[in-house]
Structure 1
Amino acid sequence: MATLRGLREVPRHLLVCEKSNFGHDKSRHRHLVETHYHNYRVSFLIPECGILSKELKNLVMETGPYYFVKNLPVYELITHKFINTFVKKGLCSALSYNTNIDEDNTAALLPNGKLILSLDKDTYEETGLQGRPSHYSGRRVMKFVISIDLMDLSCKPDSKKYERISWSFKEKKQLKFDFLLAWHHPGVEKSVMMSHFSSYGIQEHQPKIATSTVSDLQCPVLQSNELRGRPEASCSASELLDWLGAIFSHAELNNEPNNFISTYCCPQPSTVLAKAYLCTITGFILPEKICLLLEQLWYGHYFDEPKLAPWVTLTVQGFSDSPVSWRENEHGFHKGGEHLYNFVIFNNQDYWLQMAVGANDDCPP
């Protein structure tokens, strides 16, 4: 009986869906993109499109660079030189690499200047810094979260608080991580970060880009005013998200009886697209780059003749082991570590926004 009960238990997940219009004064699209900080994959689908516009193609090729720094001490992220050069001048983001949020110590720098550390109990106590228990520790608290405001520290460079934090990371507990870093500051040479961390063997990387054109693609029918969907009129937002996952995973959608890998089929009602353009960008992608992609999809004339796309989608997935999901909301792994969002953009500037998180997360904002 216990085994049967276990099979029936499905991990909780949250999917928040909302509808708005890019032209509305209270539209939250930019805020939601800008506060989902650590993104590793961006995918878009454009129906009735075989070739990207020059503008969109250029944006896709310019989503990088990002950087990998091996064995970087956390202390280096709180020095006045780093704060003044990168945190105060532009938008800097960092995330510890190859660390598991549920097992290891992890660290993240947010573009708003907050340094977030998720530490095991022993490491937390060794630092001597003040934090709070993780929301997802269970009865026996084994993980703690420390948040340090670097902008506040920079305003008081000679304060006792700065001295205590500096001493903790430099002498008391020398935490080191492999980091992914990215910095957005238009007009500044990209080599600045390379030279700043040259003693740590910094490497520059460009995101990986995969594109394809699919012919005769069966896709669900969508109506912008039918967010919840009606079986006879429109696919729902949640059904669409499942379908997109199948499309970008290159799963079979024909539900053939001898297919033992996938029995999934397209939601109804459906139609067949003559062609559709798929693009996936994988790396360490800043929210500002995603804002530009979203704007280009919105304004990119894909709804004009002769293409006449009924809608386009933009899907963004966050790092499963990031300490945060949106803003400073604590993120945990549990079963899958998912936190993602998807825009469905219609030709009248309406859009659906879908935000999904797993069991160890607060409700999306």
Structure 2
Amino acid sequence: MSSHIPLPKEKHSQTKLYVTLSSLTSKKREDRRCIETHPFNYRCTILTSTPLQKQTVLKHIGGYYRVKLKPSDLISPDFINGYVKPDTIVALSLESRIDTGDVIAIDGQGTLILSLCKDTYEELGIVGSKAQFPLDDGSRHIVRIDLKAGVMDPSKKYYQRIKWRFDEVLDREMDFLLGRFDCKTGAALNFDMPGAMQCSPAVEEHVLRDIWVPGVDELFDESAKRPSDVWTERVSDIFEWIGVAASGTDGAQRLLSAKTTPAMAAATSDICTYSVDEPRSMSAA
């Protein structure tokens, strides 16, 4: 069975959401692929039935660095040859929102990605593609530059034009978060650029106690070539449960609680009639 299943169109006609199933021990980890293909994301939510060990998470993620750079610094030969080519570099500009301003990222594969508003894109003059979001046609564009490509040599006309347009249009310093990692082991490396300040990711923890958790064992049926209607409906229900649980609010505790008191039931009845379908088990998240 495919592990990348679109949700039913009749329920989610305006979205591009997918349900992905994979094991953390698998060589083809879908969670990693999802993260690597969303370079503008800056946070994620982890739902686990065991207590979250913050120090373990921070040690695994490693440190990041905050530094002021001009976008042209990201295409300089020193940056490309010193960091991008030998290591894995991820970067994200901090000053603008993805829906209102210009945002710049490096995706960890050596690609510089610019999400630009219409005015900046037209002034920059580098060919890109229309952004999928927002849905307003032509309001944003995505420009991708492969920093590892041979044309990114200062002697090449392509590089010279890119450098010229960056210097003309994207000429001011911006705050960036950068991470440098060993391309083979994934271990975090020091970032020795002048002015770089090391910082650690923020980890927030919300605990829901004694709640109903939907069972997922029956979803891993490798013999099926495509999902049945029952399977798809079950996945949709779990997706809704994830949305409730991920909020981490008192309302989520009341809605999902396996030990509902009269007071909780009265408070919940005024909110909605959501319930966790069978099969399910009691746990903490």
Please indicate, yes or no, whether the TM-score normalized by the shorter chain is above 0.5.
Answer: yes
Offset at residue 104 of structure 1 (A) = 1.2
Residue 266 (str. 1) matches residue 238 (str. 2):
no
- Tell me, what secondary structure is at the counterpart of 2:217? coil
Correspondence for 2:96: 99
- How many angstroms apart in 2 are the aligned matches of 1:51 and 1:12? 34
Deviation at 1:86, TM superposition (A): 1.5
1:25-59, Cα deviation, whole Å (9 max, x unpaired): 8x56376246334341241312xx4586xxx9634
Three-state SS of the structure 2 residue aligned to 1:243 is helix
2:217 aligns with 223
Q: Is the 8 A contact 2:87 2:180 kept in 1?
A: yes
| Change beyond 3 A, Cα 1:74–1:267 | same
Change (3 A) 1:265 1:229: farther
2:174 maps to: 177
Return the alpha-carbon distance in structure 2 between the equivalents of residues 51 and 120 of structure 1.
39
Aligned counterparts of 1:237 and 1:182: Cα–Cα separation in 2: 35
Write the distance in 2 (CA, Å) between the matches of 1:138 and 1:215: 39
User: Residues 139-154 of structure 1: matches in 2 within 5 Å?
Assistant: 141-153=138-150
Decide whether the 8 Å contact of 1:83 with 1:154 is kept in 2: no
Structure 2 partner of 1:346: none
Rounded Cα–Cα distance in structure 1 between residues aligned with 2:88 and 2:163: 22
1:131 has 2:131 as partner: no
- Which of 47, 60, 65 aligns to 1:62? It is 60
Please tell me whether the aligned partners of residues 95 and 181 of structure 1 are also in contact (alpha carbons under 8 angstroms).
yes
* Partners of 2:129 and 2:51 in 1: CA distance: 51
Paired residues in the alignment total: 255
Shift of 1:79: 0.5
Aligned residue identity for 1:45: T
Q: Distance in 2 between matches of 1:238 and 1:206?
A: 35
How far apart are the structure 1 equivalents of 2:267 and 2:276? 20
The match for 1:241 among 217, 228, 239 is 239
Do 2:36 and 2:107's aligned partners in 1 also have CA atoms closer than 8 Å?
no
Offset of 1:124 from its aligned partner? Answer: 2.4
Picking from 199, 203, 212, the partner of 1:205 is: 199
> Which residue number in structure 2 is paired with residue 74 of structure 1?
71
SS at match of 1:45: coil
Change (3 A) 1:207 1:139: closer
Separation in 1, partners of 2:199, 2:271: 35
User: In 1, Cα distance between the equivalents of 2:212 and 2:155?
Assistant: 63
Distance 2:268 2:31 in 1: 41
* Structure having the larger proportion of residues in strand: 1
Whole-angstrom distance in 2 between the partners of 1:230 and 1:259: 30
Q: Which runs of 5+ in 2 are unaligned?
A: 1-10, 222-226, 258-263
CA distance in 2, matches of 1:139, 1:215: 42
Q: How far does residue 77 in structure 1 lie from its aligned partner after superposition?
A: 0.2
Structure 1 unaligned regions, length at least 5: 1-8, 279-365
Q: What pairs with 1:29-44 in structure 2 (closer than 5 Å)? A: 29=30, 32-33=33-34, 35-38=36-39, 39=41, 40-44=43-47
Deviations 1:138-172 (A, max 9, x none): 78734333221111157633111111211222245
Quote the Cα distance in structure 1 between the aligned partners of 2:33 and 2:97.
25
Name the counterpart of 1:45: 48
Q: Deviations over 1:262-292 (max 9, x none)?
A: 425332115452x43x4xxxxxxxxxxxxxx
Q: Is the 8 A contact 1:95 1:179 kept in 2?
A: yes
C-alpha distance in structure 2 between counterparts of 1:75 and 1:226, whole Å: 47
Letter in 2 for 1:13: T
| Structure 1 residues 153 and 110: CA distance shift in structure 2, 3 A | farther
Alignment match, 2:265 = 256
8 Å contact kept, 1:96–1:180: yes
| Residues 77-109 of structure 1 deviation map (CA, whole Å, 9 limit, x = unaligned) | 000111112111221111222422332122111
Cα distance in 2, alignment partners of residues 133 and 234 from structure 1? 31
Q: What's the TM-score once normalised by structure 2's chain length?
A: 0.70
Deviation at 1:67, TM superposition (A): 2.1
Amino acid in structure 1 at the alignment position of 2:113:
I
Q: Distance in 2 between matches of 1:142 and 1:189?
A: 37
Kept in 2, the 8 Å contact 1:126–1:173? The answer is: no
Q: Could you tell me which of 67, 87, 91 is aligned with 1:90?
A: 87
Q: 1:269 to 1:51 in 2, by over 3 A?
A: same
* Residue pair 1:68, 1:180 contacting (<8 A) in 2 also: yes
SS in 2 for 1:224: helix
Q: Kindly, what percent of the aligned residue pairs are identical?
A: 25
Report the counterpart of residue 116 of structure 1 in structure 2.
Answer: 113
